[in-house]
C-alpha cells in the first residue's frame, strides 16, 4: 500500500450518474477485487473515497464510480491533466490464484466494475468465466467484459435490455465450481443462499462506508462467524459462509 499522485487522462460520463476515470500512475500493483482511496480536492473536511479497481493496465488504473455525494461530485469535475491522490491498493481481493474450473461472476449496479479486472485475471489463468450483469435500466461496461467471458447474461429491471427482472433469476449456481459476486447486499444475500443450497463456493465483495480505508478507524467493522472483521482491511472479499448477514 502506497500514497501516490496520479494524473487524470480521461474522466468521462457514461450514464446519467456513472463516470469512468483513467489515472496515469506508477507503480500499478492492484489485484482483482482490491480498491484505492481517492481524493482530488484540497479541503480536509471531505475524506478520501474508496473506489474499486475497474481495470488495471501498465502505468494506469481505471475507476468507475457513481456520483452520489460531495466527494464523487467533485471527482466528476476532474479534467485531463488534473492531479489526483491515491492510497492503495487496499484490502484483499478475490483469491483468483486458488480458483479453478468454471466460474460465474454476478454483479449488480456499481458492483459490476470490480468484476471486470477479475474476469480478465481468471481468464488469463485458464478459468472459464461467465458474467451475469444486472442493471436498473441503462447498461454500462458490457463491452469491457466481452473479451474475457465465454457467456454473458444481462438483466434490467424494466426489461428494455436483456432479461426483464433480477439477474439472480438467470443464475444456476450448480453449473459452476465457484461464484463471485459484488453489488447490492440484497442481491449478494440471494446469490449466497443459492450457492449454499447447491454446496457451491461463493465469495462476496462487500460495500461499506469507510473513513480511513486501512483498518485503523474500525468504522467499517462487521460481524462474521470468526468475530468482528474490517471490510477495508480483512475484506472487502469474504467467503459467503463466513458472513452473518
Measured CA to CA, the distance from residue 236 to residue 193 in angstroms comes to 19
Measured CA to CA, the distance from residue 73 to residue 68 in angstroms comes to 7
Model pLDDT for residues 16-32, shown as the tens digit of each residue: 999 999 999 987 789 99
Instruction: State the DSSP string of 188-210.
Output: HHHHHHHHHHTT-EEEEE-----
Q: Where does the pLDDT of residue 1 fall: very low under 50, low under 70, confident under 90, or very high at 90 and above?
A: confident
Q: What is the CATH classification number for the domain harbouring 156?
A: 3.40.50.80
Q: DSSP 3-state helix, strand, coil percentages of the chain (rounded to 5)? A: 20, 40, 40
Model pLDDT for residues 165-182, shown as the tens digit of each residue: 999 999 999 999 999 999
> Would you say residue 160 has pLDDT above 90?
no
**Residue 37 counted as domain residue:** yes
**Residue 82 counted as domain residue:** yes
- Range of the structural domain that residue 48 is part of: 2-90
**Residue 210 counted as domain residue:** no
Residue with cell 444456476: 172
Q: What is the CATH classification number for the domain harbouring 26?
A: 2.40.30.10
- The number of distinct structural domains making up the chain is 2
Q: Give the pLDDT confidence score for residue 214 in this predicted structure.
A: 72
Find the distance separating the first CA and the last CA of the chain, reported in whole Å.
29
Which helix (H) or strand (E) element contains residue 75? helix 70-75
Q: Give the pLDDT confidence score for residue 3 in this predicted structure.
A: 87
What is the 3 state secondary structure string of 144-162? HHHHHCCEEEEEECCCCCC
Q: Give the pLDDT confidence score for residue 210 in this predicted structure.
A: 64
Q: Give the pLDDT confidence score for residue 43 in this predicted structure.
A: 54
Burial (CB count <10 Å: 0-12, 13-18, 19+), residue 24? middle
Model pLDDT for residues 127-142, shown as the tens digit of each residue: 999 999 999 999 999 9
CA distances from 211 to 6, 24, 74, 87, 234 (A): 21, 25, 17, 12, 15
Amino acid at each position: 500500500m502506497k500514497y501516490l499522485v496520479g494524473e487524470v487522462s480521461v474522466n468521462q460520463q457514461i450514464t446519467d450518474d456513472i463516470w469512468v476515470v483513467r489515472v496515469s500512475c506508477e507503480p500499478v500493483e492492484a489485484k482483482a477485487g482490491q480498491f484505492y482511496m481517492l481524493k482530488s480536492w484540497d479541503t480536509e473536511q471531505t475524506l478520501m473515497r474508496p473506489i474499486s479497481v475497474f481495470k488495471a493496465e501498465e502505468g494506469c488504473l481505471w475507476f468507475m464510480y457513481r456520483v452520489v455525494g460531495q466527494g464523487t461530485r467533485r471527482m466528476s469535475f476532474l479534467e485531463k491533466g488534473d492531479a489526483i491522490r491515491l492510497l492503495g491498493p487496499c484490502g484483499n481481493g478475490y483469491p483468483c490464484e486458488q480458483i479453478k474450473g468454471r466460474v460465474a461472476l454476478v454483479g449488480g449496479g456499481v458492483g459490476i466494475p470490480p468484476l471486470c479486472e477479475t474476469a480478465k485475471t481468471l481468464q488469463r489463468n485458464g478459468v472459464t468465466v461467465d458474467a451475469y450483469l444486472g442493471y436498473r435500466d441503462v447498461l454500462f461496461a458490457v463491452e469491457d467484459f466481452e473479451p474475457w467471458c465465454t457467456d454473458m447474461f444481462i438483466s434490467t429491471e424494466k426489461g428494455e435490455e436483456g432479461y426483464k427482472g433480477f439477474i439472480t433469476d438467470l443464475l444456476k449456481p450448480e453449473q459452476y465450481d465457484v461464484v463471485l459476486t459484488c453489488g447490492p447486499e440484497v442481491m449478494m444475500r440471494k446469490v449466497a443462499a443459492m450457492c449454499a443450497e447447491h454446496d457451491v463456493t461463493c465469495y462476496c465483495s462487500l460495500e461499506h462506508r469507510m473513513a480511513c480505508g486501512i483498518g485503523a478507524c474500525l468504522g467499517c467493522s462487521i460481524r462474521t462467524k470468526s468475530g468482528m472483521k474490517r471490510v477495508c482491511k480483512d475484506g472487502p472479499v469474504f467467503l459467503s459462509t463466513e458472513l452473518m448477514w
